[in-house]
Chain A
Amino acid sequence: MAESRVAAPADSGRRRGLTAYVLMAPAVIVLGLFFVIPFYSLVAASLYDPGGSDKAGWDVTYHFANYWEAIKLYKGQLLRSLLYGGAATLICLVLGYVLAYAIAFKSGRWKSLLLVLVIVPFFTSFLVRTLSWQLILADDGWVVDALQFVHILGQDDKLLATDFAVIMGLAYNFLPFMVLPLFASIDKIDPRLIEASSDLYSNPITGFFKVTWPLSLPGVVSGTLLTFIPATGDYINAELLGNTETTVIGKVIQLQATNANHPHIAAALSMILMFLIVAMVLVYVRRVGTEELL
């Protein structure tokens, strides 16, 4: 009895180490097969000899000029994607923050129901939801008619097939990705801290910026990342709600990889987009300094 009790700590320590590896194994295997290997082939494709073809085959010739070629041809679409993604993220942040704050602090017993309602749009396909926006924003639809009637829109103005429609579509589609992490962060804030700030001479506005906002930053960071990254890569909204002038980088990549049969350009563009996003995220996280937060 006594012996086994003495031996227990060391033994359970070793057991715990082994358990950790066993628990990690499935994820490591899945990521290895479905992330590392495809990523490797993406890097390889971006360095193909541009003279190749499906028939003749593609050779990895470390042709870094693919990158310059891709940037030269499609920098407009790259920039447009980042702008659309950024604008949609900003709109989501403002709308999502107000919504998450209201659900966390003001909804009382309706809290769970409201959270479910935030997720409800996910029950329908992304594509169907975006297509129905086409109907809503259509030139002869009731939204445009109403806005023309109150003279917010002129008789020749329209909503569908504009930058505005693309950005609103993105904001609509990715809003739940913003709301959920924001809610998780705001809901954790102890309301007594807000009382304390009020007791210490903060009016509601100062109290918000000195206490609520900084404490919700982890949610702000994860929410903006979860919105910005997929919104920047998305091309369904630009395709369905935009026009020929709203082509985004995702669409270019798709066309280059399939119809145009330029896998090296598609791969190089994917790599560039990824580098840009990673760089921006690093700067962003560093600036906000979330590691300082709890």
Chain B
Amino acid sequence: MTPLDFKYIAEQKKDWSRRTFLGKMAQGVGALALGSLINPRLIAGTSSDTWRGILPSPQFLPKAKRVIHLCMAGGPSHLDLFDYKPMLKKLDGQPFPESITRGQQLAQLQNSKLIARGTSFGFTRCGISGQMISDLLPNIQTIADDICVVRSLHTEQINHDPAHAFMNTGSNVKGRPSMGSWLLYGLGSETQNLPGYVVLMSTGPEADQPVSARQWSSGFLPSRFQGVQFQSKGSPVHYVGNPEGVCQSTQRQVIEEVQRLNSLQADQSLDPEVQTRITQYELAFKMQTSVPELTDMRDESQATLDLYGVKNAGDGSFASNCLLARRMAERGVRFIQLYHRGWDHHDGLDNKLKVAAGHCDRASAALIKDLKQRGMLEDTLVLWGGEFGRTPMGQGSGRDHHINAFSVWMAGGGIKPGISWGSTDELGYKYTDDEQAMHVHDLHATMLATFGIDHTKLIYRSQGRDFRLTDVQGKIAHGILV
């Protein structure tokens, strides 16, 4: 039995009332004795039933406390944004070397003639760190010294939905928990007034990528750990206000009665879903005041709004969502995921890139600057990137999906600032297979490491098998950790 199993038993024990205890005497005494051996705190009894995470304490010193994942859905072209390839430019318009592509998996370019496509955009050496960043991203260029650009990331799934799932859960199989759920399961949330895992979907004319809600599912973990999607426009959470004629105290009474009835059932069974229902009712009640406070951006200064490029606070734009993300981070939300869905450029690459970069560049950079001036970049991990990259071969006026290499950047939360990690071959086709190569599993392992979590120790048993976010793989990129 691993310590985690003991903890699990002890956690269950916590939910047992005196009555259940007497009713289930035989196992009760055993678990009580066991529990008191493991964690005296549980026997002493805590009044709150807040989830503090399955890990008694992080395995090593944590740097990050929360994640803001700026998910560029569709697959941004690393070749036009972060991975400068002069050789590809030189080959522009010529046949792509067959030696590289023979026998390789392609999405839509299967069986067509492969032509190299160089970037149409300039790259600039930025900051003291001298990282090469595309001129499409003038604002991100200014934070070059704060970010770590990973150019050797690679994934296993070549289509959007499974690739998103792989990025979120480390598997393309349905029913696995996403990374936000794993973090909540492992560490709990700092706030009891907002969900610990919130998803925001930016709206706009170019937002054409469908993203399924399974991407923030808690899979086989109890459903209290799943992501909660806030509406980007209008009321962020539906029906959060009281109906006409119901005041807050009446509402409280209703909730309390429902809680009492639910807890009768919870006493009888150890079903985590009943617990989930109880905690969600409580959370929903608290959200009746916390959500309006969160989304009321009138207290943001004009300077801040300008920094992000917010024209109309709360309009569902990426900029507005970035600002909202910072407000959530301040209020203790553990995992915040922002989707921008305009990066799938099979055609019209140059124009569409300009539009998408125009949406995201300023607000992304502003988020880093804002977190930094508030001292929050020390413990907030920001991850910027898509589910895969795009081919160095052209597809008409665009590029196809590409999994052998793509670029993301990370900042804050224990990540070394101003460095590049990993590289690709001269044409940006495949990651260089050295110690800086980074598989999605490695990204997950590194992410958990910034939280002080040993990714091999965060385990949940489902249907007789132990599961991890990194499955049976994942190596920590120690080189990018502070």
Q: Do A and B bind each other?
A: no
